[in-house]
Structure 1
Amino acid sequence: MRILVTGGAGFIGSHVSKQLLDKNHEVVVYDNLSRGFKKLINPRAIFVRGSVLEKEKLVRALKDVDAVVHMAAFIIVPESVEKPDIYYRNNVEGTRILLEAMKEAGVNKIIFSSSATVYGDPDKLPLTEESPVKKAANPYGQTKIEMENLIMKEHKHSGLNAVILRYFNPYGPNELHDPETHAIPNFIRATLKHEPIPLYWEGEQTRDFIYVEDLAAAHVEVLKLTGFHIFNVGTGEGTKVKEVVEKIFKIAGYSVQIQDLGKRSGDVGALYTSVERIEKELGWKAKVSLEEGLRRTVEFFKTLA
């Protein structure tokens, strides 16, 4: 298959592109590099520099494409609070324009990179795909809900084949965001520099941390599906953030001070998923343990030091 990956020069997109190429798919990386990195683009892929807001360029890039993996989005939660209009335009309007371009180019399959943030503060854990979608705690999460709704509407209207993957907490090599707002890369960078680790809520929050290569593999698995599907993608296990810090110290062979940042508005106490549906329907499950994933991630960040 020939697959166009929007945001393919980003953290997760670079891993998805590699795994698709390894399975002998042709890959077109479509990215404007405003948040992505040219060095993360696999040399085996075709690269088109463009924005999801550029419809004509998208239509040209979609020529002879069989499916789209849509990962292009702004994702920094604090920035979304400061600049909600920019997030709405890039994420929601960009998705609407992409869907129009796909229809014009005759492309009838999309795999969408969504987020567990659509569940808001859950009433019951573990989360399942049947858990209610709530008003998001921040504009970034709200854009993911609206992007999902656009795709669902297009499926009902035109029969678009669509898979929505709701990610939990991905981590791993190639995470080069600037500024970085995700916990694990910040913890590892601070540890390697012997600087205090910034920690909210004394690390008592529970999250479902999934290694990026496992997450990428789910995108390859769902390509064969038709119709409309939603899957939560996590490990099925919740881990306290402070336990992650302890594991990083163990890998490093030393500990550093903790910088207690107190509470943070918009944070959810616990978030983890059941993986029953994705295991049952696809036979997919996360293979890399948290310890092994952290070890590989620490090794990656050491190469940047």
Structure 2
Amino acid sequence: MLKNVLVTGGAGYVGHVLVPRLLADGYNVTVYDLLFFGSRLPNHPNLRVEQGDIRDTTKLATYLKGQDAVLHLACISNDASFELDENLSKTINYDCFEPLVVAARKAGVKRFVYCSTSSVYGVSDAPDVTEEHPLVPLTLYNKFKGMCEPLLWKHKADDFTCVTVRPATICGYSPRTRLDLSVNILTNHAVNKGVITVFGGKQMRPNLHIEDMVDAYRLMLTAPHDKIHGETFNIGFENHSIADLASMVKSVVETNGRRDIGIVTTPSDDNRSYHVNSDKIRRVLGYAPARSIEDAMRDLARAFVNHLLPNSFDDDWYYNVRTMKKLGAR
């Protein structure tokens, strides 16, 4: 059984939900993270949080010793992050990836889970984009995420289980909530301004509740080697247009007390649009989400009302690019 897990980027949006679940599952967890956003992870005897840069392979290698599995979440995430220094994103999202994989295998890690993204598909008119669909990246972010995938396969071995997951856009509440992702943006506007601004609207986007994302990562630690080794899994069961997401948010927020939410539509130059098919993970591993996108909207709306997300428009902490610009990340 895998017992010791290292999570790169474990102090991020997903990590703040994932790590407590792993601890509850009985794992010893090491989080390796630059801590751009600090840490609100639990004070737990089986948790070690190390502030470190994944580009520093020598330092990271010391923390890989004794680890059974790596969940590689760390990256400069989402397409807008390339407003930053392009070299920052390239060095973190691509250049250091293969050295990390090599170091993990050398350290005796038994399983490597690469957290890619469904945005590698870019734009597709296909009614169902499966894992075999060509990658058509529109930005450097999804280009580099896709380029890392074959680098992982170079090192897979019978004693080094390798798997890639391509999640949909995550939504819902976390102790380190991001408010620069589609569903979260729309819900913030609905609850706190009473008006939702839709950029474009026709683009199709898959979304996934953050708790379901966490369940999928946990599954990757326990799934049999022969079911996942060398495999890629889409994880995104609900596909909606941005306009439909706005209508869903309007309904959820109005139902929960805020009346007459307006919707304003403006043009957008973000043309990413694709309809992800996730039949494979259901067929191979029996995985299906336990929550809906509406559940994520309700969770966020409740968090706003309960003052868990104060200053949601003004505080840079909720926004990746704004925070990293403020810190002068490089």
Question: What's the TM-score, normalizing by structure 2?
Answer: 0.82
2:124, 2:275 within 8 Å by CA — same for their partners in 1?
no
Structure-1 residue corresponding to 2:216: 218
2:146 pairs with 1:145: yes
2:285 pairs with 1:282: yes
State the percentage of identical aligned residues.
Answer: 23
Deviations 1:204-230 (A, max 9, x none): 333222101011101111223322111
Structure 2: which 5+ runs fail to align?
Answer: 311-330
Q: Distance in 2 between matches of 1:68 and 1:152?
A: 15
Structure-2 residue corresponding to 1:209: 207
2:130, 2:276 within 8 Å by CA — same for their partners in 1?
yes
1:268 to 269, 272, 287: 272
What CA RMSD, in Å, does the superposition of the two structures yield over aligned residues? 2.2
Structure-1 residue corresponding to 2:115: 113
Structure 1 residues 287-296 or 111-120, which shifts more? Answer: 287-296
Q: Distance in 1 between matches of 2:187 and 2:165?
A: 27
Tell me the amino acid that sits aligned with residue 147 of structure 2: E
Tell me the amino acid that sits aligned with residue 208 of structure 1: P
1:168, 1:234 within 8 Å by CA — same for their partners in 2?
yes
Structure-1 residue corresponding to 2:163: 163
Q: CA deviation at 1:252?
A: 4.5
SS in 2 for 1:231: strand
Deviations 1:58-102 (A, max 9, x none): 111112100000000001313315532221111112312312321
Structure 1 residues 3-12 or 220-229, which shifts more? Answer: 220-229
1:162, 1:229 within 8 Å by CA — same for their partners in 2?
yes
Q: Distance in 2 between matches of 1:237 and 1:260?
A: 20
Q: CA deviation at 1:154?
A: 2.2
Shift of the 192–52 alpha-carbon distance from structure 1 to 2, 3 Å rule, reads same
Tell me the amino acid that sits aligned with residue 70 of structure 2: V
Q: Distance in 2 between matches of 1:29 and 1:104?
A: 19
Q: CA deviation at 1:283?
A: 1.2
SS in 2 for 1:193: helix
Tell me the amino acid that sits aligned with residue 150 of structure 1: L
Deviations 1:99-134 (A, max 9, x none): 232133121321111111111212412211122222
Within 5 A, what are the aligned runs for 1:1-305?
1-34=3-36, 36-39=37-40, 41-44=41-44, 45-80=47-82, 83-134=85-136, 136-155=137-156, 160-174=160-174, 176=176, 180-194=179-193, 196-201=195-200, 203-223=201-221, 224-226=223-225, 227-238=229-240, 240-250=244-254, 251-264=256-269, 266-269=270-273, 271-302=274-305, 303-305=308-310
- The count of corresponding residues between Structure 1 and Structure 2 is 297
Deviations 1:119-171 (A, max 9, x none): 1212412211122222x100111110112122122227x96311111011210
Shift of the 255–207 alpha-carbon distance from structure 1 to 2, 3 Å rule, reads farther
Q: Distance in 1 between matches of 2:30 and 2:262?
A: 44
SS in 1 for 2:112: strand
Structure-1 residue corresponding to 2:313: none
